[in-house]
Amino acid sequence: MRGQVTFICMPTNVTPEYKEAEEAYRKAREPRERLDCLREMLRTIPKHKGTDHLQADIKTRIKHLTEELAGPKKGGRRKGPSHVVRPEGAAQVCLVGPPNAGKSSLHARLTGSHSDIGPYPYTTHLPVPGMLPYEDIYFQLVDLPPVSGDFMESWLINALQPTDGVLLVIDVSDPDCLEQIPVILERLAEKKAFLTPAWPGLESAEPEQPNQAEDPFRLDLPAVLIANKSDLDPDPEEVETLEELLELRFPALTVSAKTGDGLDELGSFLFRALEIVRVYTKMPGKPADKDKPFTVRRGGTVLNVAGLVHKDIARDLKFARMWGAEVFDGQQVGPDHLVSDGDLVELHL
Ligand SMILES: Nc1nc2c(ncn2[C@@H]2O[C@H](COP(=O)(O)OP(=O)(O)OP(=O)(O)O)[C@@H](O)[C@H]2O)c(=O)[nH]1
Ligand SMILES: [Mg+2]
């Protein structure tokens, strides 16, 4: 039903077992893992009138995800999910926007992908992953089909589940974008996906949304407005005017996929806004791997880094020696020690 958003308030008398399953669902990124969590939520939810809505919602999601995982039948063989891109790199960011805004052109320019580009709307039909290099790390950018008042792929919300942020791409030279943005926000909100200006690493004046923590299926995604085709619209203030008119407070970048103008800013914006922390590792007695950092988000620990190296290393980790801005050279720290950008960590088992 368009234009209506139902919020499910969590009944207060759920069991700790249910809460744990719900927490695991929120954190799960892989579709199969999310399906297991949903089943666990259904198993542990107290069965009474107060949870009827939530039970129904969980069942619908189990049904959809099961279908999605089964994939289309091809010659009797079932394929895996084709609409959810497995996250890789420092973070996953999806391109969302109206038809013809230049999402695929940006994707191709930023990642070197061969995403289809066309002078007509509805060119892109499937998610296309690609990697945007930034210093010594990569961000994964996922090109998506357009969202409009007429059309949104049924699987689009599923594709957004694992993402860390959204590039809301518009054609700033097209006056229609004034109507297109609210329509996109509304279509996503109907499916409980909310684009927010609140990135973890940016100061935000946006007040906390009510019910945010209550509905396990609510998806809050930080978004940056990408005002594309600036080569066709020479007014540098255009995007500010647009945001004022629409009463939006997204951070914004004015760019051109055609000339490349403004695109250099994107990597550093994502790095700051997502609070990416790069950590270099070494094993005792071996040289440091200074080429390829592991990445966590601010608040990540030595144990989180060890887990990225290998789960057995995380399991057996006793302590670490660290070199970096916040420690003295070779300082011994425990697994729970917070890491900062540029740290070198020697893992001891
Ligand atoms: N002048 C100019 N044209 C652009 C720019 N970016 C994209 N275009 C053109 O805009 C048209 C649409 O580009 P696409 O990249 O296919 O747009 P899209 O948003 O992926 O479109 P859908 O997949 O249909 O949603 C193409 O003709 C592009 O060449 C830009 O920065 N400047
Ligand atoms: Mg496209």
| 100 Cα–ligand 2 center, Å | 7
Share of the chain above pLDDT 70, in %: 91
| pLDDT reading at 167 higher than 60 | yes
Q: What pLDDT, in 10s, does the model give residues 251-299?
A: 999 999 999 999 999 999 999 999 999 999 988 888 888 888 999 999 9
Report the pLDDT value the prediction gives residue 84, as an integer from 0 to 100. Answer: 84
pTM score above 0.85: yes
What tokens does 94 get? 């999806």
The answer to whether 176 and 233 are in contact (CB under 8 A) is: no
Read off the amino acid at residue 163.
T
Tallying the residues shown for the chain, one arrives at: 349
SS3 state at 195? strand
Mutate to test the pocket of ligand 1, among 107, 115, 116, 117 (most ligand atoms within 8 A of CB): 117
Beta strands in 90-249 (DSSP E): 92-96, 128-134, 137-143, 165-171, 193-196, 219-228
Fill in the DSSP letter of residue 38: H
- Mean residue pLDDT of the chain comes to 89
What tokens does 237 get? 């203030």
Report the pLDDT value the prediction gives residue 5, as an integer from 0 to 100. Answer: 46
Cβ of residue 120 lying under 6 Å from some atom of ligand 1: no
Cβ of residue 127 lying under 6 Å from some atom of ligand 1: no
SS3 state at 33? helix
* Mean pLDDT, rounded, for 126-141: 96
Q: What pLDDT, in 10s, does the model give residues 19-77?
A: 999 989 988 878 888 899 999 999 999 988 888 988 999 999 999 888 878 766 555 45
Q: With residue 189 as reference, give the H or E element that holds it.
A: helix 177-190
From atom 8 of ligand 1, which residue's Cα is the shortest distance away?
Answer: 102
289: number of Cβ within 10 Å: 14
| 258 Cα–ligand 2 center, Å | 14
* Mean pLDDT, rounded, for 88-104: 97
Share of the chain above pLDDT 90, in %: 67
Q: Which of 38-47, 191-200, 202-211, 310-319 has the lowest mean pLDDT?
A: 202-211
What tokens does 313 get? 């290393």
Q: How far apart are CA 259 and CA 11, in angstroms?
A: 53
| pLDDT reading at 165 higher than 50 | yes
Q: What pLDDT, in 10s, does the model give residues 219-239?
A: 999 999 999 999 998 787 888
Cβ of residue 307 lying under 6 Å from some atom of ligand 1: no
Cβ of residue 118 lying under 6 Å from some atom of ligand 1: yes
Closest by CA to 180, choosing from 168, 190, 191, is: 168
What tokens does 330 get? 């070779």
| pLDDT reading at 331 higher than 90 | yes
Phi-psi region of 122 (alpha: psi -120 to 50; beta: other; left: phi over 0): left
Confidence of residue 212 (pLDDT cuts 50, 70, 90): low
Report the pLDDT value the prediction gives residue 12, as an integer from 0 to 100. Answer: 58
Minimum-distance ligand 1 atom for the alpha carbon of 256: 31
| pLDDT reading at 1 higher than 50 | no
